[in-house]
Structure 1
């Protein structure tokens, strides 16, 4: 295939190393990788590092039904500005949630109209739709998302043990992954009731209502069900090193499990929640620095597979209350995943560039059946993030719908200069192209 253009002179980052290479692009694909490619139009990438476009496996863009929280247009602007070229959207908080083929097709059509980058869709796994899992798989869901505690929305109820077990059996038969929000419903519900009955309403009261043990109990249960059913399990947004260690132990014993954490758990601590407030409320909550240090140790040891943003914004009025329990729990972070990993945390923890490429691109593409994504190699989609690792900048220009973003004002090193989707420029220096995303289905 002839080349439409070349990226010349960049440092190409792959999970196997960093090397100065020219990249030829034709028909939206990578057609050649070599130390020197001659001829044809070329873009000078010297001085920049070229990463495969980020595949954000955990995003809430809430369309249709709650587009005023966040929608495909603004959400994908933020993603593209952060170097993402693909995302996997969760079945909530769109309304109604994606529990049937009809809801899947409605959401997919909106995404193809409005999304700037490629996307896949998760389907829900709840007590309401066990009979619809087959039709969702046939429609093309990435996998099934279940909550082991209250989701915050009554229309997306938590999966009781039997629902989760039966859902995993079905997912095994259908060849799909089950993603679980692993917090014990019994623990979190009772601790919240006790705290609120005692009139507790502060930041520390909320944090105390969701201790690490609530995560560990649910992770252990999800691993047991995955072991019994043989299902592929994806543990989303683990917040503690202890939870990662427990899940990794299960993987070593042969359970088909992947482990995800989020940038906010790596970048912020409970002290930041007290300082910043509502913009950092989430579940599981942010942890003390010692717990964060444990999480980093697990990450650096290679025990975490995927880092996803869990971007979940809400309008300012839902983030305003004197009672911290009443605030919507969700963090806006679609634009910052790559920056947090490149920074290596507050103390430059030494995360290699190769590991960054694996955590936010190659591993999610592999886990969720997207072989054309997440890699800089011949035949793959020409999805790139061009990053100036020498550039230090304060994050001020944000593209998601609301400004309650905890990363605003944070200083990062390593600025995304441009993002390419299938060989087309979707973002450069604060401006967006006319590209439209395509629906991704697992293969």
Structure 2
């Protein structure tokens, strides 16, 4: 007698979309059998014909901001939103919390804030800044999943950026203990020389963050990784120009991976209204032709995965009162919406749910080294998302679980609805007052 059985005419497994019965015991997947197999359990979930059982998504790029800027977002609200969006594992970025996660002591502060306050399993990235080289190995040993650095001002003064030499020094150090460096790749000199971003015009903001700034920084990252033989990951790729050199670097054996985000795959700069600062992010949303080439990069396997880069703030920091892109906070709020946003665009381009879960679950889990997340396979955690791909909805930001009702997806019709989420075989209760049951993860957790 198993704890739970799913009878699913459509389920995404490692062999594709098939009809299967999935058996769960003690929070693990212990049986994957033909649909008609007589698996018995205390609880049986029979999927409807319009539902597909997906692995729980893994979002490795989330700014939760607690402690220090919990009024922007927090562990309770962010992980509740994640669960509502079918995300069962998140990895928190080392900024914009105060203190940033750049020391073992700061990691302990963050873990204390998260303990008992997360609806989904939650891990942490460490930060690489100019004065913490001696903290990298202790943070690694304390369980962070890798280290984030910026190559230009991060947006917050307490998380300073690395120059190219400092990045190489950090990579050489990380190579000794096999750590991963994840990089916000924009070249500060190129942006300093670009036009000012001030004002309401989105085209002016776009010109202030040119593709060349991204391309130059990614070239620097590639050569640093080539020289040090360290593992690197390029965050939130927006410039399709960089795809050929990323592909070339991989052919040369450089250990580099790359992600992009739903907003770069959903929106285009031509349709962003002036003053609509809810669309501001760095690097920026670019032209429709660029968006199409990013989709081609996914198809070609150059882009590995899709993550939210959920980076909210309080509404006043978006400066809707003046609509000035030069002073508004740069960040997109979308953690709950990633799956339907990507499915809306993917289905019209001929991609399948198998593709989507590979980009948003399997490969993100692999990036973070989570050996039991991101797939429906024997021995994996029983993390599931029940998804209705043919049901449509219109985004109402006031009904999202994000702390603030601000998102560029407001009013947008999206394909696909997450109907239910399970974490280690238990359905997640997201009602007001529900007790969070997520766990805190450390690198190396089996």
Per the shorter chain, which TM-score range? over 0.9
Residues 432 and 409 of structure 1, relative CA distance in 2, 3 Å threshold: farther
Does the residue aligned with 2:418 lie in a helix, a strand or coil? strand
1:102 aligned onto 2:105 = yes
Aligned to 1:405: 407
2:291 corresponds to 1:292: yes
Q: Secondary structure at the match of 1:12?
A: strand
What does residue range 8-407 of structure 1 map to in structure 2 within 5 Å? Answer: 8-35=7-34, 36-40=37-41, 41-47=43-49, 48-191=51-194, 194-195=195-196, 202-274=201-273, 277-320=276-319, 321-344=322-345, 348-396=348-396, 397-407=399-409
Cα deviation for residue 322 of structure 1 reads: 4.0
For 1:277 and 1:14, how far apart are their aligned partners in 2? 40
Any gaps of 5 or more consecutive residues in structure 1? none
User: Is the 8 Å Cα contact of residues 15 and 355 (structure 1) preserved in structure 2?
Assistant: no
**Secondary structure, in 3 states, of the residue corresponding to 2:336?**
coil
Change (3 A) 1:276 1:304: farther
Offset from partner CA, 1:230-275 (integer Å, 9 cap, x none): 1111101000222233212211211111110000000011134326
Using the TM superposition, give the Cα deviation of residue 361 of structure 1 relative to its aligned residue in structure 2, in angstroms. 0.6
2:434 counterpart of 1:423? no
TM superposition shift of 1:371: 0.4
State the Cα RMSD in Å: 1.7
Does the Cα contact within 8 Å between 1:343 and 1:413 map onto a contact in 2? yes
Paired position in structure 2 for 1:441: 442
My pick for the range that moved more, 280-289 or 298-307, is 298-307
Q: Secondary structure at the match of 1:4?
A: strand
Structure 1 runs of 4+ aligned residues shifted over 4 Å read: 430-433
CA contact 2:200–2:275 (8 Å) conserved in 1: no
Is the CA contact (8 Å cut-off) linking 1:15 and 1:358 kept in structure 2?
A: no
When normalised by structure 1's length, the TM-score is 0.95
Hey, what's the Cα distance between the residues in 1 that align with 2:212 and 2:199? 21
Structure 1 residues 39 and 322: alpha-carbon distance in aligned structure 2, compared to 1, 3 A threshold: closer
State the shift of 1:352 in Å. Answer: 2.0
- Aligned residue for 1:97, secondary structure, equals coil
Q: CA deviation at 1:302?
A: 2.1
Aligned to 1:7: 6
Q: Which moved more, 1:150-159 or 1:200-209?
A: 200-209
Do the aligned residues in 2 keep the contact of 1:241 with 1:297 (CA within 8 Å)?
Answer: no
SS in 1 for 2:272: helix
13-22 or 362-371, which deviates more = 13-22
- Structure 2: state its 5+ residue gaps: none
Distance 2:199 2:409 in 1: 28
CA distance in 1, matches of 2:142, 2:216: 33
Task: Provide the C-alpha distance between the structure 1 equivalents of 2:214 and 2:145, rounded to a whole number of angstroms.
Answer: 24
Q: Distance in 2 between matches of 1:216 and 1:116?
A: 38
Cα gap change, 1:432 to 1:56, in 2 (>3 Å): farther
Structure-1 separation of matches of 2:323 and 2:340? 32
390-399 or 76-85: which moved more? Answer: 390-399
Q: How many residues align?
A: 436
Q: Flag the 1:44–1:420 CA change in 2: closer, same or farther, 3 A.
A: same
Q: Bigger CA drift: 143-152 or 46-55? A: 46-55
Aligned counterparts of 1:432 and 1:42: Cα–Cα separation in 2: 26
Give the TM-score of the pair, scaled to structure 2.
0.94
- CA deviation after TM superposition for structure 1 residue 9, in Å: 2.5
Contact persistence 2:3–2:26 (CA under 8 A): yes
Q: How many Å separate the matches in 2 of 1:109 and 1:372?
A: 24
